[in-house]
A and B are shown apart, each in its own frame.
Chain A
Amino acid sequence: MNKLMGKTYRLMLMLIILIAGVMAERTGLVEYLSDPYEYPVIIELLVQHLYIVAISMTFATIIGLGAGIILTRKRFRRYAGICMYIVGLGQTIPSLAVLAIAMSFLGIGLKPAIFALSIYSILPIARNTLAGITAVPTSFIDAARGMGMTPLKILFEVELPNAMKVIITGFRIALIINIGTAALSYLIGAGGLGDLIFTGISLMQTEKLLAGAIPITLMALIADGLADFMGYILISKGLRLSG
C-alpha cells in the first residue's frame, strides 16, 4: 500500500511539473521572460520587491526581538499578556487593510508600504520570542544564576539559544507573510512584483501574471528553506538533534 502511495505521489509530482512546463510555454511566459525590453523591467521589479521585504523585515526583526525580550524581563512581565493581545489583534487585521490604512496616513509609495509591512511582520517574531524565552526551563536559568552569570549573560547564553528554534519559526512565518503582502504594495504605488500580477489580471495577460506569481512563490519557498538553514547555523547541535 505504501509503495503504491509512493509511486502515485511521484507520478503526480512529475505530472505537475510537466503541466507547469507546458503552461509556461503556451502562455508565452518563456517568450516574455526573454524579451529584451521587458527583461530589465522584471528584474527591476524583483529588486524592488526584495528591497521592500528586506527593509521591513529588518525593522520587524529588531523591534520584534527587542519587544519579545523586554517583555520577558522581570519588570515588564505583567504587561506581556496585554501587549500580546493588542499586537495579536493587530495581526487579525487583513494585510490589505493595513496597507490601505498606511496609505491614508502616509501617502503613496515606498514609505507607507515599508511601514505597514514592518508593523505587520512584528507580531509573529515578537510572539514567538516571548513564547520561546518563557518556555526555557527555569531550572536552566537557576543553574546559570548559580554559576554566577549576570542577567545579560543569561539572556545571551542560556535563554536565547534555547529559544532560538521557536524564534526562527516566528521569523519564518513573518518572512513568508511579508513576501506575500509585499506583492500588494503595488496598489499603493510601491512597485514590486505585484505590478506584474495585477497588470496581468487587469489586461488578462497570462504571461505577465505568471511572471509575477511564480517568482513570488519561489521566493516564499526559498525563504522557507532559508529559515531551515538559519536554524541549522544558529541552533546548537545538541538542541537541534533533540528537538
Chain B
Amino acid sequence: MKRIIQLFVSAIIVLTFLLPGTLLAKDKKIIVGGKNFTEQYLLSELAGILLQDKGFDVTLKTGVGSVIARKSLESDQFDIYFEYTGTAYTLYYKQKDMEIMTVPEKVYDWVKKADEKKNLIWLDPVKFNNTYTLMMKKSQADSLGLKTISDLAGYVNENPDELIFALDSEFWERPDGFKKVMKTYKFKLPAKQVKKMSIGLTYKALKEGLVNSAMGFATDGRIAAFGFVNLIDDKLFFPVYNPVPVVRKEVLDKYPEIREILKPIADNMTTEKMQQLNASVDVEHKQVREVATAWLKEIDAIN
C-alpha cells in the first residue's frame, strides 16, 4: 500500500516536471503569441522562424482573441506578438479621435507612447493596413447597386429583413466593430439577421451563399479568390491597422537584438505580398510554416 502511494506521488511529481516545454530548456527562451486568424498565424510564424534562426528557443502560443492576446502580454504570458495600431487605439485605449486614428504615423506614435508607460515597446511597424472590411459577393453587390457602406445602410433601412450578415463576436463587440458601424452609418440590422461565427467561417458562409454580407480583413487572400468586393468605408469609420511587434520591455532589455532580427518583416512586407501569403494558406491550403519559410528565404532573411 505504502509503495503504491509512493509510486503515485512520484508519478505526479515527474509528470508535473515533464510539462511540455519545460523539458527542452535552452538559454534564450521567448514566447511568441498570436491571434486566431491566418495573417496572425503567419506573422507569428515569421517572427518565430527569424528568432529561431538566430538561436532563440521559440514557443508559439497562437489562436487566441485580441483581448486575451493583449492580457497575456500584460501578464507576462506572452513575450511578444503582433498587434495592430488601430486595435490598440480603439479597443484597449478606447480612443476616438478621428484625426489621429486615420493617419498611420499618428496612431502609431500615440499607442507607442501610451504603451511605454506599461513597459510594452512597439518595434518597427509593418506597412500594410489590415483593416476590417464589409464584404459582399461581387455579383450581388453589383445587382443591388451597393458600392459603399452608406449604400448598404440605405438598403438595409429600406429592406431590413433581406440581408443576412456574418461576423465574429469580437467584431460585433469592439468599439471599432459592427455595432458602432451601424450607429455611425445609421442603420440597424435586426438581431436575427446577424449570424455570429468564428472568423474563418465568415468567408465560407459568404462563399456558399448562406449570408449576403460578411466581415473580413482587407489583406485576406480569399477576397479576390472568392470573387468578393469590399464595400467602401466612405465615412472613414475604421482606423488604420498596421501590425507592429509589441514586446515586453524586460525581454527587449535582455535581448535588444530582437528589434534587428524582426526588421526584415517591416522592411519587406507589402499589402500585396501579405495577401499572397494569406491566399497560399487559406486558398491553396499550404502550411503556415512552409509559406513563411519560403518567403523569408525569398527575401534572403534566412538561409
Measured CB to CB, the residues of A under 8 A from B are: 40-41, 44, 107-109, 186-189, 191, 195, 198-199, 201-205
Contacts and interface: CB of A to CB of B under 8 A. Distances in A.
A191 B169 contact: no
B282 interface: no
A105 to B, nearest CB: 14
A205 B91 CA distance: 13
Nearest to B172: A199
Contacts of A203: 65-67, 169-170, 173
Nearest to B35: A202
A187 B198 contact: yes
B197 A108 contact: yes
B208 A199 contact: no
A192 B280 CA distance: 33
Contact of B173 (A40, A108, A187, A199): A199
27 contacts: A44-B191, A107-B204, A107-B210, A108-B210, A109-B210, A186-B197, A187-B197, A188-B201, A189-B205, A191-B195, A195-B196, A198-B169, A199-B169, A199-B170, A199-B172, A199-B173, A199-B196, A202-B64, A202-B67, A202-B68, A202-B170, A203-B65, A203-B67, A203-B170, A203-B173, A204-B68, A204-B71
B2 interface: no
Interface centre among B201, B205, B210 (most CB of A within 10 A): B201
Given A199-B169, A203-B169, A186 B192 contact: no
A22 B36 CA distance: 33
A191 B194 CA distance: 10
Contact of A186 (B64, B66, B196, B210): B196
A87 B68 CA distance: 39
Contacts of A195: 169, 196
A188 B200 CA distance: 10
B123 to A, nearest CB: 25
Interface string B196-231: 111001001100101000000000000000000000
Given A187-B198, A189-B205, A191-B195, A202 B210 contact: no
B175 to A, nearest CB: 11
Interface of B: 36, 64-68, 71, 169-170, 172-173, 191-192, 195-198, 201, 204-205, 208, 210
A191 B64 contact: no
Contacts of B67: 202-204
A44 B65 contact: no
A89 to B, nearest CB: 28
Contacts of B205: 108, 189
B191 A189 contact: no
Contacts of A107: 204, 208, 210
Contacts of B170: 199, 202-203
A32 B68 CA distance: 21
Q: Which 4 A-B pairs have the closest CB atoms?
A: A202-B65, A199-B169, A189-B197, A204-B67
Nearest to A189: B197
A38 to B, nearest CB: 10
A191 B169 CA distance: 11
A203 B170 CA distance: 7
Contacts of B191: 40-41, 44
Given A107-B208, A108-B205, A191-B195, 15 more contacts: A107-B204, A107-B210, A187-B198, A188-B197, A189-B197, A189-B201, A189-B210, A199-B196, A201-B65, A202-B67, A202-B68, A202-B169, A203-B169, A203-B173, A204-B68
B292 to A, nearest CB: 24
Contacts of A44: 191-192
Nearest to A103: B201
A189 B172 CA distance: 15
A108 B201 CA distance: 8
A150 to B, nearest CB: 50
B41 to A, nearest CB: 16
B161 to A, nearest CB: 15
Nearest to A196: B169
Contacts of B173: 199, 203, 205
A210 to B, nearest CB: 15
A189 B198 CA distance: 8
Nearest to A202: B65
A191 B196 contact: yes
A238 B76 CA distance: 64
A199 B198 CA distance: 10
A122 B35 CA distance: 37
Contacts of A205: 173
Contacts of B201: 108, 188-189
Nearest to B179: A37
A193 to B, nearest CB: 12
Nearest to B195: A189
Contact of A108 (B36, B66, B68, B204): B204
